[in-house]
Amino acid sequence: MTTEPLRVRRAVSSAPEMQPEQLRSDLLQPWPRITWRTTVTILLLFGVLIWGVNGTNARPGELAEGIPNILDFIRRLFPPRFDLIPVTLALPSFQLLGLTVPTIGFPSSAILLPEVLFAIIETVQMALIGSVIGIMLAAPFGLLAARNTSPHPWIYQGTRMFLNANRALPEIVYALIFVAAVGLGPFGGVLALAIGSIGSIGKLYAEAIEQIDPQQVLAVRATGANPLLTFFYAVIPQALPVIASYSLLLFEGNIRHASILGIVGAGGIGFIISKYMALFQYTRLMGAVILMILTVTVIDRISDSLRKKII
Amino acid sequence: MPLLEIQDLSVVYPNGTQALKSITMHAEAGEIVAIIGRSGAGKSTLLRCINGLQATTAGKIMLDGDEITAASEAELGKIRRKIGFIWQEYNLVERLPAITNVLTGRLGYNPAWQSAFGFFDSAQRAIALHNLERVNLLHRAYHRADRLSGGEKQRVAIARAMSQQPKIVLADEPVASLDPELAEQVMSVLARVAREDGVLTLINIHHVELAKRFADRLVGVAQGGVVFDGPPAALDEYALNQIYRFDAATLRAPIG
Protein backbone atom coordinates (compact mmCIF):
# COMPACT_ATOMS: atom_id res chain seq x y z
CA MET A 1 0.00 0.00 0.00
CA THR A 2 1.39 3.38 -0.88
CA THR A 3 1.38 6.10 1.73
CA GLU A 4 0.58 8.84 -0.71
CA PRO A 5 -2.73 10.08 0.68
CA LEU A 6 -3.83 12.69 -1.79
CA ARG A 7 -4.81 12.13 -5.36
CA VAL A 8 -3.08 14.38 -7.81
CA ARG A 9 -5.42 17.08 -9.00
CA ARG A 10 -5.61 18.03 -12.62
CA ALA A 11 -3.54 20.99 -13.63
CA VAL A 12 -5.11 24.38 -12.97
CA SER A 13 -7.47 25.32 -15.78
CA SER A 14 -5.94 27.69 -18.24
CA ALA A 15 -8.09 30.73 -17.52
CA PRO A 16 -7.07 33.36 -20.03
CA GLU A 17 -5.24 36.35 -18.64
CA MET A 18 -6.90 39.41 -20.12
CA GLN A 19 -6.71 43.12 -19.57
CA PRO A 20 -9.64 44.32 -17.40
CA GLU A 21 -11.21 46.29 -20.27
CA GLN A 22 -11.04 43.34 -22.63
CA LEU A 23 -12.32 41.05 -19.87
CA ARG A 24 -15.30 43.33 -19.26
CA SER A 25 -16.36 43.47 -22.88
CA ASP A 26 -15.82 39.72 -23.18
CA LEU A 27 -18.01 39.06 -20.13
CA LEU A 28 -20.80 41.22 -21.57
CA GLN A 29 -21.20 39.05 -24.69
CA PRO A 30 -24.70 37.56 -24.35
CA TRP A 31 -23.71 34.15 -25.68
CA PRO A 32 -21.35 31.92 -23.77
CA ARG A 33 -17.92 31.88 -25.32
CA ILE A 34 -17.58 29.25 -28.02
CA THR A 35 -13.92 28.39 -28.39
CA TRP A 36 -12.43 26.76 -31.44
CA ARG A 37 -12.03 23.65 -29.32
CA THR A 38 -15.79 23.40 -28.71
CA THR A 39 -16.44 23.92 -32.40
CA VAL A 40 -13.99 21.23 -33.44
CA THR A 41 -15.39 18.82 -30.84
CA ILE A 42 -18.95 19.31 -32.06
CA LEU A 43 -17.91 18.86 -35.71
CA LEU A 44 -15.99 15.71 -34.83
CA LEU A 45 -18.98 14.30 -32.95
CA PHE A 46 -21.21 14.92 -35.96
CA GLY A 47 -18.64 13.30 -38.22
CA VAL A 48 -18.55 10.19 -36.04
CA LEU A 49 -22.36 9.98 -36.05
CA ILE A 50 -22.53 10.24 -39.84
CA TRP A 51 -19.79 7.61 -40.10
CA GLY A 52 -21.84 5.29 -37.86
CA VAL A 53 -25.06 5.81 -39.79
CA ASN A 54 -23.30 5.07 -43.09
CA GLY A 55 -21.62 1.94 -41.80
CA THR A 56 -24.79 0.40 -40.38
CA ASN A 57 -27.11 1.22 -43.30
CA ALA A 58 -29.49 2.72 -40.76
CA ARG A 59 -32.36 3.85 -42.97
CA PRO A 60 -35.74 4.91 -41.65
CA GLY A 61 -37.37 3.52 -44.81
CA GLU A 62 -36.40 -0.06 -44.01
CA LEU A 63 -37.69 0.26 -40.48
CA ALA A 64 -41.02 1.48 -41.88
CA GLU A 65 -41.18 -1.47 -44.29
CA GLY A 66 -40.46 -3.85 -41.41
CA ILE A 67 -43.28 -2.57 -39.22
CA PRO A 68 -45.95 -5.02 -40.58
CA ASN A 69 -43.62 -7.95 -39.81
CA ILE A 70 -43.00 -6.66 -36.32
CA LEU A 71 -46.75 -6.26 -35.74
CA ASP A 72 -47.39 -9.77 -37.08
CA PHE A 73 -44.76 -11.19 -34.72
CA ILE A 74 -46.30 -9.34 -31.75
CA ARG A 75 -49.76 -10.69 -32.74
CA ARG A 76 -48.43 -14.24 -32.75
CA LEU A 77 -47.04 -13.83 -29.19
CA PHE A 78 -50.59 -13.73 -27.81
CA PRO A 79 -52.22 -15.20 -25.83
CA PRO A 80 -49.23 -16.15 -23.67
CA ARG A 81 -49.25 -19.83 -22.77
CA PHE A 82 -48.00 -21.44 -19.57
CA ASP A 83 -47.48 -25.20 -19.51
CA LEU A 84 -48.36 -26.20 -15.96
CA ILE A 85 -46.95 -29.27 -14.28
CA PRO A 86 -47.90 -30.72 -10.90
CA VAL A 87 -45.28 -30.19 -8.21
CA THR A 88 -45.28 -32.18 -4.98
CA LEU A 89 -45.12 -29.94 -1.92
CA ALA A 90 -42.38 -32.01 -0.33
CA LEU A 91 -38.64 -32.41 -0.17
CA PRO A 92 -37.83 -36.06 -1.01
CA SER A 93 -35.81 -38.00 1.57
CA PHE A 94 -32.06 -37.81 1.10
CA GLN A 95 -28.80 -39.00 2.60
CA LEU A 96 -26.80 -36.62 4.80
CA LEU A 97 -23.60 -37.76 6.54
CA GLY A 98 -24.74 -41.37 6.37
CA LEU A 99 -28.16 -40.61 7.87
CA THR A 100 -31.40 -40.78 6.01
CA VAL A 101 -33.34 -37.52 6.29
CA PRO A 102 -37.04 -38.31 6.01
CA THR A 103 -39.36 -36.61 3.57
CA ILE A 104 -40.26 -33.08 4.64
CA GLY A 105 -43.61 -31.56 3.60
CA PHE A 106 -46.80 -33.01 2.19
CA PRO A 107 -45.95 -35.82 -0.29
CA SER A 108 -49.63 -36.41 -1.03
CA SER A 109 -50.51 -32.88 -2.16
CA ALA A 110 -49.31 -31.14 -5.28
CA ILE A 111 -49.80 -27.76 -6.93
CA LEU A 112 -49.60 -26.73 -10.55
CA LEU A 113 -46.68 -24.50 -11.50
CA PRO A 114 -45.45 -23.29 -14.89
CA GLU A 115 -42.75 -25.55 -16.18
CA VAL A 116 -40.48 -22.67 -17.20
CA LEU A 117 -40.41 -21.48 -13.59
CA PHE A 118 -37.82 -24.13 -12.84
CA ALA A 119 -35.58 -22.90 -15.63
CA ILE A 120 -35.96 -19.37 -14.24
CA ILE A 121 -35.03 -20.56 -10.76
CA GLU A 122 -31.99 -22.23 -12.26
CA THR A 123 -31.13 -18.92 -13.96
CA VAL A 124 -31.33 -17.07 -10.65
CA GLN A 125 -29.19 -19.75 -8.98
CA MET A 126 -26.59 -19.40 -11.74
CA ALA A 127 -26.53 -15.62 -11.28
CA LEU A 128 -26.26 -15.93 -7.51
CA ILE A 129 -23.38 -18.39 -7.46
CA GLY A 130 -21.66 -16.77 -10.42
CA SER A 131 -21.85 -13.36 -8.73
CA VAL A 132 -20.53 -14.61 -5.40
CA ILE A 133 -17.56 -16.34 -7.03
CA GLY A 134 -17.03 -13.31 -9.26
CA ILE A 135 -17.06 -10.96 -6.27
CA MET A 136 -14.51 -13.08 -4.41
CA LEU A 137 -12.26 -13.19 -7.45
CA ALA A 138 -12.69 -9.48 -8.21
CA ALA A 139 -12.03 -8.11 -4.69
CA PRO A 140 -8.24 -8.57 -4.77
CA PHE A 141 -8.07 -7.15 -8.28
CA GLY A 142 -10.06 -4.13 -7.10
CA LEU A 143 -7.49 -3.45 -4.39
CA LEU A 144 -4.59 -3.81 -6.79
CA ALA A 145 -6.27 -1.59 -9.38
CA ALA A 146 -7.00 1.32 -6.99
CA ARG A 147 -4.27 3.94 -7.07
CA ASN A 148 -4.40 4.53 -3.34
CA THR A 149 -4.18 0.88 -2.28
CA SER A 150 -2.05 -0.60 -5.06
CA PRO A 151 1.40 -1.65 -3.86
CA HIS A 152 3.21 -0.44 -6.96
CA PRO A 153 2.38 1.66 -10.04
CA TRP A 154 3.32 -1.26 -12.29
CA ILE A 155 0.95 -3.59 -10.48
CA TYR A 156 -1.70 -0.89 -10.73
CA GLN A 157 -1.17 -0.56 -14.50
CA GLY A 158 -0.96 -4.31 -15.01
CA THR A 159 -4.14 -5.02 -13.05
CA ARG A 160 -6.00 -2.29 -14.92
CA MET A 161 -4.89 -3.81 -18.22
CA PHE A 162 -6.01 -7.26 -17.12
CA LEU A 163 -9.41 -5.96 -15.98
CA ASN A 164 -9.91 -4.11 -19.25
CA ALA A 165 -8.99 -7.19 -21.26
CA ASN A 166 -11.35 -9.31 -19.18
CA ARG A 167 -14.14 -6.79 -19.73
CA ALA A 168 -13.61 -6.76 -23.47
CA LEU A 169 -15.38 -10.13 -23.80
CA PRO A 170 -19.07 -10.51 -22.96
CA GLU A 171 -20.31 -13.33 -20.72
CA ILE A 172 -21.61 -15.31 -23.68
CA VAL A 173 -18.10 -15.71 -25.09
CA TYR A 174 -16.88 -17.06 -21.75
CA ALA A 175 -19.90 -19.36 -21.77
CA LEU A 176 -18.86 -20.79 -25.16
CA ILE A 177 -15.41 -21.51 -23.71
CA PHE A 178 -16.66 -23.09 -20.47
CA VAL A 179 -19.39 -25.15 -22.13
CA ALA A 180 -16.63 -26.62 -24.29
CA ALA A 181 -14.56 -27.25 -21.17
CA VAL A 182 -17.11 -28.61 -18.65
CA GLY A 183 -19.94 -29.62 -20.94
CA LEU A 184 -23.54 -28.47 -21.38
CA GLY A 185 -25.48 -27.28 -18.35
CA PRO A 186 -25.66 -24.54 -15.74
CA PHE A 187 -22.17 -25.11 -14.28
CA GLY A 188 -20.55 -23.74 -17.44
CA GLY A 189 -22.85 -20.73 -17.10
CA VAL A 190 -21.82 -20.19 -13.49
CA LEU A 191 -18.15 -20.19 -14.46
CA ALA A 192 -18.80 -17.84 -17.37
CA LEU A 193 -20.62 -15.38 -15.09
CA ALA A 194 -17.90 -15.60 -12.42
CA ILE A 195 -15.05 -14.93 -14.84
CA GLY A 196 -17.08 -12.38 -16.79
CA SER A 197 -17.79 -10.45 -13.58
CA ILE A 198 -14.16 -9.85 -12.64
CA GLY A 199 -13.46 -7.12 -15.16
CA SER A 200 -16.57 -5.04 -14.62
CA ILE A 201 -16.92 -5.34 -10.86
CA GLY A 202 -13.17 -5.25 -10.18
CA LYS A 203 -12.90 -1.91 -11.91
CA LEU A 204 -15.90 -0.55 -10.00
CA TYR A 205 -14.38 -1.72 -6.70
CA ALA A 206 -11.19 0.10 -7.62
CA GLU A 207 -13.17 3.27 -8.37
CA ALA A 208 -15.01 2.95 -5.03
CA ILE A 209 -11.72 2.63 -3.16
CA GLU A 210 -10.25 5.60 -5.01
CA GLN A 211 -13.26 7.79 -4.12
CA ILE A 212 -12.67 7.56 -0.36
CA ASP A 213 -11.62 10.58 1.65
CA PRO A 214 -7.82 10.39 2.05
CA GLN A 215 -7.93 12.63 5.13
CA GLN A 216 -9.66 9.93 7.16
CA VAL A 217 -7.03 7.42 6.09
CA LEU A 218 -4.34 9.91 7.02
CA ALA A 219 -5.82 10.37 10.49
CA VAL A 220 -5.85 6.62 11.17
CA ARG A 221 -2.29 6.26 9.85
CA ALA A 222 -1.23 9.13 12.07
CA THR A 223 -2.25 7.12 15.13
CA GLY A 224 0.56 4.70 14.27
CA ALA A 225 -1.64 1.95 12.83
CA ASN A 226 0.11 -0.30 10.32
CA PRO A 227 -1.02 -0.31 6.67
CA LEU A 228 -3.19 -3.43 7.02
CA LEU A 229 -5.05 -2.10 10.05
CA THR A 230 -5.32 1.30 8.42
CA PHE A 231 -6.96 -0.48 5.52
CA PHE A 232 -9.46 -2.24 7.79
CA TYR A 233 -10.25 0.81 9.90
CA ALA A 234 -10.17 3.66 7.36
CA VAL A 235 -10.49 2.31 3.82
CA ILE A 236 -13.03 -0.50 4.19
CA PRO A 237 -15.58 1.44 6.30
CA GLN A 238 -15.64 4.20 3.70
CA ALA A 239 -15.74 2.02 0.61
CA LEU A 240 -18.07 -0.70 1.91
CA PRO A 241 -21.46 0.89 1.16
CA VAL A 242 -20.47 1.59 -2.44
CA ILE A 243 -18.90 -1.85 -2.83
CA ALA A 244 -22.02 -3.55 -1.46
CA SER A 245 -24.21 -1.48 -3.73
CA TYR A 246 -22.13 -2.35 -6.81
CA SER A 247 -22.21 -6.01 -5.82
CA LEU A 248 -26.01 -5.98 -5.76
CA LEU A 249 -26.04 -4.29 -9.16
CA LEU A 250 -23.71 -7.03 -10.42
CA PHE A 251 -26.13 -9.68 -9.22
CA GLU A 252 -29.04 -7.97 -10.95
CA GLY A 253 -27.03 -7.67 -14.14
CA ASN A 254 -25.94 -11.30 -13.93
CA ILE A 255 -29.56 -12.47 -13.83
CA ARG A 256 -30.04 -10.78 -17.19
CA HIS A 257 -26.76 -12.18 -18.51
CA ALA A 258 -27.60 -15.66 -17.18
CA SER A 259 -30.88 -15.66 -19.04
CA ILE A 260 -29.09 -15.51 -22.37
CA LEU A 261 -26.31 -18.03 -21.68
CA GLY A 262 -28.68 -20.96 -22.28
CA ILE A 263 -28.63 -20.12 -25.98
CA VAL A 264 -25.11 -21.56 -26.13
CA GLY A 265 -26.04 -24.45 -23.86
CA ALA A 266 -24.98 -23.06 -20.50
CA GLY A 267 -28.24 -23.70 -18.65
CA GLY A 268 -31.08 -21.50 -17.49
CA ILE A 269 -34.08 -19.98 -19.23
CA GLY A 270 -32.09 -19.06 -22.35
CA PHE A 271 -32.12 -22.61 -23.63
CA ILE A 272 -35.90 -22.79 -23.36
CA ILE A 273 -36.34 -19.40 -25.03
CA SER A 274 -34.15 -20.40 -27.96
CA LYS A 275 -36.04 -23.72 -28.23
CA TYR A 276 -39.41 -21.93 -28.40
CA MET A 277 -38.02 -19.55 -31.01
CA ALA A 278 -36.72 -22.40 -33.15
CA LEU A 279 -40.04 -24.28 -32.92
CA PHE A 280 -42.11 -21.13 -33.62
CA GLN A 281 -43.91 -21.65 -30.29
CA TYR A 282 -44.41 -17.93 -29.82
CA THR A 283 -47.20 -18.09 -27.25
CA ARG A 284 -45.07 -20.30 -24.99
CA LEU A 285 -42.17 -17.89 -25.62
CA MET A 286 -44.34 -15.01 -24.42
CA GLY A 287 -45.28 -16.96 -21.28
CA ALA A 288 -41.61 -17.53 -20.47
CA VAL A 289 -40.79 -13.89 -21.15
CA ILE A 290 -43.58 -12.68 -18.84
CA LEU A 291 -42.37 -14.92 -16.01
CA MET A 292 -38.81 -13.75 -16.57
CA ILE A 293 -39.85 -10.09 -16.43
CA LEU A 294 -41.79 -10.73 -13.21
CA THR A 295 -38.82 -12.48 -11.63
CA VAL A 296 -36.36 -9.78 -12.59
CA THR A 297 -38.74 -7.08 -11.34
CA VAL A 298 -39.21 -8.76 -7.98
CA ILE A 299 -35.47 -9.30 -7.52
CA ASP A 300 -34.66 -5.73 -8.56
CA ARG A 301 -37.17 -4.44 -6.00
CA ILE A 302 -35.65 -6.55 -3.23
CA SER A 303 -32.18 -5.51 -4.26
CA ASP A 304 -33.23 -1.83 -4.36
CA SER A 305 -34.55 -1.91 -0.83
CA LEU A 306 -31.38 -3.68 0.35
CA ARG A 307 -29.29 -1.02 -1.32
CA LYS A 308 -31.24 1.77 0.37
CA LYS A 309 -30.60 0.12 3.74
CA ILE A 310 -26.86 -0.08 3.03
CA ILE A 311 -26.43 3.53 1.93
CA MET B 1 -44.92 48.51 7.59
CA PRO B 2 -41.43 47.08 8.17
CA LEU B 3 -39.78 45.12 5.35
CA LEU B 4 -39.49 41.99 7.49
CA GLU B 5 -42.02 41.22 10.15
CA ILE B 6 -41.83 38.06 12.23
CA GLN B 7 -44.65 37.42 14.67
CA ASP B 8 -44.81 34.75 17.35
CA LEU B 9 -42.88 32.35 15.15
CA SER B 10 -42.53 28.85 16.57
CA VAL B 11 -40.96 25.75 15.09
CA VAL B 12 -41.28 22.29 16.58
CA TYR B 13 -39.30 19.58 14.82
CA PRO B 14 -41.00 16.24 14.11
CA ASN B 15 -38.92 14.66 16.90
CA GLY B 16 -40.51 17.08 19.39
CA THR B 17 -37.60 19.52 19.76
CA GLN B 18 -38.80 23.10 20.06
CA ALA B 19 -36.33 24.95 17.83
CA LEU B 20 -37.98 28.38 17.96
CA LYS B 21 -40.26 29.72 20.68
CA SER B 22 -42.57 32.56 19.79
CA ILE B 23 -40.03 34.80 18.07
CA THR B 24 -41.15 38.33 17.27
CA MET B 25 -38.90 40.79 15.48
CA HIS B 26 -39.01 43.47 12.80
CA ALA B 27 -36.35 44.77 10.46
CA GLU B 28 -36.21 47.64 8.01
CA ALA B 29 -34.65 47.94 4.57
CA GLY B 30 -30.95 48.80 4.76
CA GLU B 31 -30.39 47.40 8.25
CA ILE B 32 -27.55 45.00 8.93
CA VAL B 33 -28.64 42.70 11.72
CA ALA B 34 -26.32 40.17 13.31
CA ILE B 35 -28.02 37.22 14.96
CA ILE B 36 -25.80 35.86 17.70
CA GLY B 37 -26.18 32.84 19.91
CA ARG B 38 -24.72 29.46 20.72
CA SER B 39 -24.77 26.48 18.41
CA GLY B 40 -28.25 24.98 18.45
CA ALA B 41 -29.87 28.21 19.69
CA GLY B 42 -32.11 28.29 16.61
CA LYS B 43 -30.25 30.86 14.48
CA SER B 44 -30.08 28.68 11.38
CA THR B 45 -33.68 27.55 11.80
CA LEU B 46 -34.77 31.20 11.89
CA LEU B 47 -33.00 31.99 8.60
CA ARG B 48 -34.34 28.85 6.97
CA CYS B 49 -37.87 29.85 7.99
CA ILE B 50 -37.46 33.24 6.34
CA ASN B 51 -36.77 31.77 2.92
CA GLY B 52 -39.30 29.00 3.37
CA LEU B 53 -36.87 26.09 3.62
CA GLN B 54 -38.19 25.22 7.07
CA ALA B 55 -41.85 24.48 7.80
CA THR B 56 -43.14 26.55 10.67
CA THR B 57 -45.45 25.40 13.45
CA ALA B 58 -47.07 28.68 14.48
CA GLY B 59 -46.81 32.41 13.87
CA LYS B 60 -46.19 34.28 10.65
CA ILE B 61 -43.45 35.88 8.59
CA MET B 62 -44.19 38.82 6.32
CA LEU B 63 -41.50 39.88 3.86
CA ASP B 64 -42.09 42.87 1.58
CA GLY B 65 -45.84 42.29 1.63
CA ASP B 66 -45.67 38.51 1.05
CA GLU B 67 -46.71 36.14 3.79
CA ILE B 68 -43.98 33.48 3.59
CA THR B 69 -45.62 31.21 6.13
CA ALA B 70 -48.72 30.97 3.93
CA ALA B 71 -47.03 30.79 0.50
CA SER B 72 -47.32 27.76 -1.77
CA GLU B 73 -44.19 26.18 -3.21
CA ALA B 74 -44.77 28.02 -6.51
CA GLU B 75 -45.19 31.35 -4.73
CA LEU B 76 -42.08 30.66 -2.65
CA GLY B 77 -40.10 30.31 -5.90
CA LYS B 78 -41.11 33.86 -6.82
CA ILE B 79 -40.46 35.17 -3.31
CA ARG B 80 -37.03 33.52 -3.10
CA ARG B 81 -35.79 35.67 -5.98
CA LYS B 82 -35.98 38.54 -3.50
CA ILE B 83 -33.98 36.62 -0.88
CA GLY B 84 -30.24 36.17 -1.29
CA PHE B 85 -28.73 33.35 0.73
CA ILE B 86 -25.09 33.02 1.73
CA TRP B 87 -23.94 29.68 3.12
CA GLN B 88 -21.18 28.71 5.49
CA GLU B 89 -19.71 26.28 2.99
CA TYR B 90 -20.21 28.76 0.08
CA ASN B 91 -22.19 26.18 -1.98
CA LEU B 92 -20.85 27.41 -5.28
CA VAL B 93 -21.25 25.08 -8.23
CA GLU B 94 -17.64 24.00 -8.17
CA ARG B 95 -17.25 23.02 -11.80
CA LEU B 96 -18.58 26.30 -13.14
CA PRO B 97 -16.50 29.44 -13.54
CA ALA B 98 -16.96 32.29 -11.09
CA ILE B 99 -18.91 34.43 -13.57
CA THR B 100 -21.39 31.63 -14.28
CA ASN B 101 -21.90 31.12 -10.55
CA VAL B 102 -22.70 34.82 -10.26
CA LEU B 103 -25.02 34.60 -13.27
CA THR B 104 -27.03 31.88 -11.50
CA GLY B 105 -28.22 34.79 -9.34
CA ARG B 106 -30.01 36.00 -12.48
CA LEU B 107 -31.73 32.68 -13.30
CA GLY B 108 -34.92 33.83 -11.61
CA TYR B 109 -35.09 36.84 -13.96
CA ASN B 110 -33.65 35.63 -17.27
CA PRO B 111 -36.17 33.72 -19.46
CA ALA B 112 -35.68 30.03 -18.70
CA TRP B 113 -35.34 28.93 -22.33
CA GLN B 114 -32.57 31.45 -22.83
CA SER B 115 -30.72 30.41 -19.67
CA ALA B 116 -30.93 26.78 -20.81
CA PHE B 117 -28.71 27.67 -23.77
CA GLY B 118 -26.36 29.80 -21.70
CA PHE B 119 -27.81 33.02 -23.10
CA PHE B 120 -28.00 36.01 -20.78
CA ASP B 121 -28.45 39.37 -22.46
CA SER B 122 -25.90 42.07 -21.85
CA ALA B 123 -28.08 43.76 -19.21
CA GLN B 124 -28.16 40.57 -17.13
CA ARG B 125 -24.46 40.03 -17.63
CA ALA B 126 -23.75 43.63 -16.66
CA ILE B 127 -25.41 43.02 -13.28
CA ALA B 128 -23.28 39.94 -12.68
CA LEU B 129 -20.16 41.72 -13.86
CA HIS B 130 -20.88 44.70 -11.64
CA ASN B 131 -21.27 42.46 -8.58
CA LEU B 132 -18.16 40.44 -9.34
CA GLU B 133 -16.25 43.68 -9.66
CA ARG B 134 -17.66 44.98 -6.37
CA VAL B 135 -16.23 42.00 -4.51
CA ASN B 136 -12.89 42.62 -6.26
CA LEU B 137 -12.86 39.39 -8.22
CA LEU B 138 -13.18 40.53 -11.82
CA HIS B 139 -9.79 38.99 -12.58
CA ARG B 140 -11.11 35.60 -11.41
CA ALA B 141 -14.19 35.68 -13.68
CA TYR B 142 -13.17 32.71 -15.83
CA HIS B 143 -11.61 30.67 -13.03
CA ARG B 144 -13.51 27.59 -12.02
CA ALA B 145 -15.00 27.90 -8.53
CA ASP B 146 -13.03 24.93 -7.21
CA ARG B 147 -9.80 26.75 -8.03
CA LEU B 148 -10.65 29.71 -5.79
CA SER B 149 -9.57 30.15 -2.18
CA GLY B 150 -12.14 30.06 0.63
CA GLY B 151 -12.29 33.83 0.94
CA GLU B 152 -12.67 34.22 -2.82
CA LYS B 153 -15.42 31.60 -2.91
CA GLN B 154 -17.42 33.42 -0.26
CA ARG B 155 -17.00 36.70 -2.14
CA VAL B 156 -18.28 35.02 -5.31
CA ALA B 157 -21.21 33.75 -3.23
CA ILE B 158 -21.88 37.31 -2.06
CA ALA B 159 -21.79 38.48 -5.69
CA ARG B 160 -24.24 35.70 -6.62
CA ALA B 161 -26.64 36.73 -3.84
CA MET B 162 -26.39 40.43 -4.73
CA SER B 163 -27.02 39.64 -8.41
CA GLN B 164 -30.51 38.56 -7.43
CA GLN B 165 -30.99 42.24 -6.55
CA PRO B 166 -32.60 40.99 -3.36
CA LYS B 167 -34.70 42.83 -0.82
CA ILE B 168 -33.04 40.81 1.92
CA VAL B 169 -29.84 38.81 2.26
CA LEU B 170 -29.64 35.93 4.71
CA ALA B 171 -26.12 34.85 5.62
CA ASP B 172 -25.76 31.68 7.69
CA GLU B 173 -22.36 31.69 9.40
CA PRO B 174 -20.70 33.25 6.34
CA VAL B 175 -17.22 33.41 7.86
CA ALA B 176 -17.15 30.39 10.19
CA SER B 177 -14.96 28.43 7.75
CA LEU B 178 -12.44 31.23 7.24
CA ASP B 179 -9.38 32.35 9.14
CA PRO B 180 -9.70 35.60 11.17
CA GLU B 181 -8.03 37.71 8.49
CA LEU B 182 -10.31 36.47 5.69
CA ALA B 183 -13.34 36.53 8.00
CA GLU B 184 -12.74 40.22 8.54
CA GLN B 185 -12.28 40.82 4.81
CA VAL B 186 -15.42 38.90 3.81
CA MET B 187 -17.53 40.57 6.50
CA SER B 188 -16.43 44.00 5.36
CA VAL B 189 -17.22 43.15 1.72
CA LEU B 190 -20.64 41.83 2.71
CA ALA B 191 -21.43 44.88 4.86
CA ARG B 192 -20.18 47.27 2.17
CA VAL B 193 -22.24 45.84 -0.72
CA ALA B 194 -25.30 45.51 1.53
CA ARG B 195 -25.04 49.17 2.49
CA GLU B 196 -24.41 50.28 -1.09
CA ASP B 197 -27.62 48.58 -2.20
CA GLY B 198 -29.56 49.35 0.97
CA VAL B 199 -30.42 45.68 1.38
CA LEU B 200 -31.65 44.31 4.68
CA THR B 201 -29.05 41.75 5.76
CA LEU B 202 -29.42 39.15 8.50
CA ILE B 203 -26.16 37.49 9.47
CA ASN B 204 -25.90 34.48 11.75
CA ILE B 205 -22.54 34.70 13.33
CA HIS B 206 -20.64 33.13 16.22
CA HIS B 207 -18.03 35.82 16.41
CA VAL B 208 -19.37 38.57 18.70
CA GLU B 209 -16.58 41.04 17.95
CA LEU B 210 -17.18 40.86 14.19
CA ALA B 211 -20.92 41.18 14.79
CA LYS B 212 -20.44 44.34 16.87
CA ARG B 213 -18.11 45.88 14.28
CA PHE B 214 -20.16 45.31 11.15
CA ALA B 215 -23.80 45.20 12.25
CA ASP B 216 -26.14 48.08 13.10
CA ARG B 217 -28.12 45.90 15.40
CA LEU B 218 -27.65 42.65 17.28
CA VAL B 219 -30.28 40.05 18.03
CA GLY B 220 -29.36 37.51 20.68
CA VAL B 221 -31.02 34.13 20.44
CA ALA B 222 -30.91 31.54 23.21
CA GLN B 223 -32.89 28.33 23.53
CA GLY B 224 -35.13 29.27 20.61
CA GLY B 225 -36.14 32.70 21.91
CA VAL B 226 -34.94 36.29 21.43
CA VAL B 227 -33.14 37.39 24.61
CA PHE B 228 -31.48 40.56 23.33
CA ASP B 229 -32.30 43.07 20.59
CA GLY B 230 -30.42 46.32 20.37
CA PRO B 231 -27.45 48.27 19.02
CA PRO B 232 -23.92 46.88 19.52
CA ALA B 233 -23.23 49.43 22.25
CA ALA B 234 -26.06 48.02 24.35
CA LEU B 235 -24.58 44.54 24.41
CA ASP B 236 -23.32 44.44 27.99
CA GLU B 237 -22.13 41.67 30.25
CA TYR B 238 -25.67 40.94 31.39
CA ALA B 239 -26.89 40.50 27.81
CA LEU B 240 -23.93 38.28 26.92
CA ASN B 241 -24.71 36.10 29.93
CA GLN B 242 -28.30 35.83 28.77
CA ILE B 243 -27.22 34.77 25.29
CA TYR B 244 -24.21 32.58 25.96
CA ARG B 245 -24.17 31.56 29.62
CA PHE B 246 -27.80 30.95 30.53
CA ASP B 247 -26.79 27.51 31.84
CA ALA B 248 -23.60 28.69 33.55
CA ALA B 249 -24.88 27.80 37.01
CA THR B 250 -25.25 24.17 36.05
CA LEU B 251 -21.90 24.23 34.25
CA ARG B 252 -20.09 25.66 37.24
CA ALA B 253 -21.72 23.60 39.92
CA PRO B 254 -19.47 20.52 39.72
CA ILE B 255 -16.30 22.63 39.63
CA GLY B 256 -17.00 25.20 42.35
Residues in chain A within 8 Å Cβ distance of B118: 31-32
Neighbours of B121 (CB within 10 A): 14
Residues in chain A within 8 Å Cβ distance of B144: 13, 15
Identify the CA nearest to A261 among candidates A195, A168, A199: A195
The full set of domains in chain A, from first to last, is 20-76 (no CATH), 84-114 (no CATH), 117-310 (1.10.3720.10)
pTM, full prediction:
0.72
Of A12, A13, A27, the CB nearest to B99: A27
Distance between CA atoms of residues A186 and A209, nearest Å: 33
Please tell me if residue B126 touches chain A, with a CB cutoff of 8 Å: yes
Do A23 and B139 make contact, defined as CB atoms within 8 angstroms?
Answer: yes
Please tell me if residue B141 touches chain A, with a CB cutoff of 8 Å: yes
Distance between CA atoms of residues A119 and A209, nearest Å: 37
Residue type, A288: A
Q: What is the pLDDT of residues A183-226, one digit of tens each?
A: 888 999 999 999 999 998 999 999 999 999 889 988 998 888 88
Distance between CA atoms of residues B22 and B24, nearest Å: 6
Of A13, A28, A31, the CB nearest to B147: A13
Please tell me if residue B138 touches chain A, with a CB cutoff of 8 Å: yes
Distance between CA atoms of residues B95 and A268, nearest Å: 47
**Out of A48-62, A165-179, B184-198, B236-250, which region has the weakest mean confidence (pLDDT)?**
B236-250
Distance between CA atoms of residues B208 and B220, nearest Å: 10
Output phi, psi for A229, to 5 deg: -70, -35
Please tell me if residue B96 touches chain A, with a CB cutoff of 8 Å: no
In this prediction, residue A57 has a pLDDT band, given cuts at 50, 70 and 90, of confident
Please tell me if residue A34 touches chain B, with a CB cutoff of 8 Å: no
Do A29 and B122 make contact, defined as CB atoms within 8 angstroms?
Answer: yes
Q: What is the pLDDT of residues B122-179, one digit of tens each?
A: 899 999 999 999 999 999 999 999 999 999 999 999 999 999 999 999 999 999 989 9
With residue B170 as reference, give the H or E element that holds it.
strand B168-172
Identify the CA nearest to B156 among candidates B125, B188, B133: B133
Q: What is the pLDDT of residues A224-281, one digit of tens each?
A: 888 888 888 998 899 989 999 999 999 999 999 998 898 888 888 888 888 888 999 8
Cα distance from N-terminal residue to C-terminal residue, chain A: 27
Which positions ≥6 away from B2 have C-beta within 8 Å? B26, B27, B28
Distance between CA atoms of residues B199 and B31, nearest Å: 7
Of B125, B139, B140, the CB nearest to A28: B125
* Mean model confidence pLDDT for chain A: 86
Q: In what order do the strands lie in the sheet with B225-230?
A: B83-86, B168-172, B200-204, B32-36, B217-222, B225-230
| Cα Rg, chain A, nearest whole Å | 27
Identify the CA nearest to A187 among candidates A129, A124, A131, A134: A129
Percent of chain A whose predicted confidence (pLDDT) is above 90: 43
Q: How far is CA A209 from CA A149, A222, A235, B29, in A?
A: 8, 20, 7, 51
Model pLDDT, residue A10: 41
- The alpha carbon dihedral of A276, A277, A280, A284 has a sign of positive
The full set of domains in chain B, from first to last, is 4-246 (3.40.50.300)
